[in-house]
Chains A and B, each alone.
Chain A
């Protein structure tokens, strides 16, 4: 749409008598109605896609959570049985613990590293090159990333070999040792998401008004004081946003675990909630318990996000607050 048409439309809408029916009801012009129809047509693919691939499965899983169904037999209502069974299932509890561990390890370390790298890159002239390097894993398929790391984590892989040579110990079996498998997943998760967070934080840092920095400098603030008292508080809304996204993403960890540690690792060491849901639904055809577990995941996500929103009042600083 051109500027001319926007102005004309705005003028028509602003006119007191324009587009009003005698009864006082607003009457749309033909072109506006046409525009509206085209709008609907344009958003239709997205709406249909959302309905088919998000809304319908969401409603279906809500319904199936209260039923017993294996995909082939008749659906039987079982009330809250699936929920009580799942909450007593050691595998789900193990999955929740593993998932929370992944989130607790990867989110602070991942975001902390991203902040440090963003600060380091801020004044660098060649930062575009570094950004491309850091961002490459983000645009690479998770499957490909996991398969490459799988090779690196082999006992005879480059990582284990290097560690063995440096420390003079036996090469660690990252993916076969229950104590290391979850750590391996965390390393891959942090590495994969680092680039996106660096770019977001870098944009946030560059968005801080130079006058604020200059004023702090004039007041005698050194680099550390500047970082902790000016930049970090002003960056805190972005860190908060990234932490919510990263936490939710961690709670949904699946593909890395699925590829990197087949069958959820040794002794279910890397079994996450989403893997648990997948295993119940598509490994055992128990769609009722799988749906109940997915509802539990939804509630868990809501609770954690709620806690994060509660915590933001203490730790997040908005520029408007200062004003």
Chain B
């Protein structure tokens, strides 16, 4: 009996120890490839996007049989950067990885991203720095060095519902007005007033940096000066523009899409013809097509006081290479092909939901012939700007600033008070 017990206990002990070791091994799993021919890369994305990325991997490995590529996906954007941070801290980061525009600055400042300017200018590169639209680099560029490049871009345009405009008695077409240089702020606000009078929502916006800074920029204001200092609170044009923006939110003509309830969200309102304008990126096409209402919609740029076009915000994510990768050559080959005009065309064709960030791939936006003024996506990207580097360097700062703007939209503060609070918050977070 004791012998049998002893055997059993030994077996249990070995089992427990093995389970523990497997558990600990599982905890430390992941990270970049340990040889120079394996590239591990990570991103977030929808199942459709991840499937497309796997297809890109397959095509890449056919072109480069000596390189193995492995995708390490993370389903949620909110979890992605904390995982990446943990991997970088423990030196188990993927060789190549996506970084969001709100997190990029900190990663660049950490010195954990490979400097890319020299490689981008080398013969092995399919992506020269000048091939990208300069306004899109944002915080990816620091002191003349490039540390990441935009995967693609999404300028926020105004999608508008022709049926809703007609229901409000609006006979003019915004895109036609824009073509003739008559798409003015007064015209835009007049249309919104008519939509509101007809019991419809005027315009819907997501509460994030591209909304408030696009409005300020399009109205001739200045949020940050050339040195990167926030000056919006001392610029009279900016204060006036923000005052107008706030008053339209406060009277309900404009709506913050983030706070709409589940089940009656912005997409639902828009596809059921209950709102006139919706500031979003190219991904909106998918929503309209799913609802089968795409024929009723077109796009237009942001209105300006004089009707001329003005730079507005462009959302982007970036691709970087781990400075400590064991596979620097293979990683750069993957990086440059992923971002090249061919790479972006491959990723964005068909049900593509973004706009190329590089020259030479624009046909992917224009070929489908939808929306009627698809060229607007490209025009806005060409002159647009990424999130301001001063803001993108501090994780969470853009979100905190958006909270202050939400207070304005909800009538809890006025324009000057909001902009002063934004200036104080930036100074507090950047030590300026």
Chain A interfacial positions (CB closer than 8 Å to B):
1-2, 5, 31, 38, 41-42, 44-45, 48-49, 52, 70-73, 150, 153-157, 173, 175-176, 266-267, 279, 281-286
B263/A156 in contact, CB under 8 A: yes
A48 to B22, alpha carbons, bound, how many Å?
13
A73/B396 in contact, CB under 8 A: no
Closest 5 CB pairs of A and B: A72-B110, A282-B82, A284-B396, A156-B263, A154-B263
| Nearest CB on A from B104, distance (A) | 13
Which residues of B, 367-395, contact A by the 8 Å Cβ criterion? 394-395
Which residues of B, 81-131, contact A by the 8 Å Cβ criterion? 82, 85-86, 88-89, 106-107, 109-112
| Nearest CB on A from B155, distance (A) | 25
A71/B89 in contact, CB under 8 A: yes
* Chain A residue at minimum C-beta to C-beta distance from B260: A176
Cross-chain contact of B20 among A48, A156, A267 (Cβ < 8 A): A48
B262/A150 in contact, CB under 8 A: yes
A44 — which chain B residues lie within 8 A by C-beta? 16-17, 20
Cross-chain contact of A42 among B13, B78, B89 (Cβ < 8 A): B13
B259 within 8 A of A: yes
B16 — which chain A residues lie within 8 A by C-beta? 41-42, 44-45
Given A45-B19, A282-B82, A285-B85, residue A1 in contact with residue B260 (CB < 8 A): no
A175/B262 in contact, CB under 8 A: yes
Q: Which of A1, A2, A175, A283 has the most CB of B within 10 A?
A: A283
| Nearest CB on A from B207, distance (A) | 11
A170 to B264, alpha carbons, bound, how many Å?
13
A–B complex contacts, Cβ < 8 Å, 20 sampled: A41-B17, A44-B17, A44-B20, A45-B17, A48-B20, A49-B20, A70-B106, A71-B85, A71-B88, A71-B89, A72-B88, A72-B106, A72-B107, A156-B264, A157-B262, A173-B261, A267-B406, A283-B396, A284-B396, A285-B106
B396/A52 in contact, CB under 8 A: no
Known contacts A2-B1, A41-B13, A284-B394, then 18 further A-B pairs from the complex at CB < 8 Å, ordered by chain A residue: A44-B17, A44-B20, A45-B16, A49-B20, A52-B24, A70-B110, A72-B110, A72-B111, A73-B109, A73-B110, A150-B262, A155-B262, A175-B261, A175-B262, A281-B82, A282-B85, A284-B396, A285-B106
B262/A72 in contact, CB under 8 A: no
B406/A45 in contact, CB under 8 A: no
B261/A155 in contact, CB under 8 A: yes
| Nearest CB on B from A238, distance (A) | 33
| Nearest CB on B from A86, distance (A) | 14
B290 within 8 A of A: no
A42/B12 in contact, CB under 8 A: yes
A26 to B263, alpha carbons, bound, how many Å?
74
A38/B82 in contact, CB under 8 A: no
B65 — which chain A residues lie within 8 A by C-beta? none
A285/B17 in contact, CB under 8 A: no
| Nearest CB on B from A157, distance (A) | 7
A2 — which chain B residues lie within 8 A by C-beta? 1
Which residues of B, 56-81, contact A by the 8 Å Cβ criterion? 78
A176 to B396, alpha carbons, bound, how many Å?
22
A45 to B89, alpha carbons, bound, how many Å?
26
A267 to B20, alpha carbons, bound, how many Å?
43
Given A72-B85, A285-B106, residue A266 in contact with residue B259 (CB < 8 A): yes
| Nearest CB on A from B353, distance (A) | 21
B24/A176 in contact, CB under 8 A: no
| Nearest CB on B from A237, distance (A) | 35
Cross-chain contact of B13 among A31, A38, A150, A156 (Cβ < 8 A): A38
| Nearest CB on A from B263, distance (A) | 4
A173 to B17, alpha carbons, bound, how many Å?
51
B144 within 8 A of A: no
A285 — which chain B residues lie within 8 A by C-beta? 85, 106, 395
A10 to B108, alpha carbons, bound, how many Å?
67
B180 within 8 A of A: no
Which residues of B, 260-278, contact A by the 8 Å Cβ criterion? 260-264
| Nearest CB on A from B356, distance (A) | 30
Given A52-B24, A284-B396, residue A154 in contact with residue B262 (CB < 8 A): yes
Cross-chain contact of B5 among A1, A70, A266 (Cβ < 8 A): A1
B20/A45 in contact, CB under 8 A: yes
| Nearest CB on A from B195, distance (A) | 22
B259 — which chain A residues lie within 8 A by C-beta? 176, 266
B260 — which chain A residues lie within 8 A by C-beta? 176
B111 — which chain A residues lie within 8 A by C-beta? 72
* Chain A residue at minimum C-beta to C-beta distance from B396: A284
A154 to B394, alpha carbons, bound, how many Å?
34
A41 to B86, alpha carbons, bound, how many Å?
31
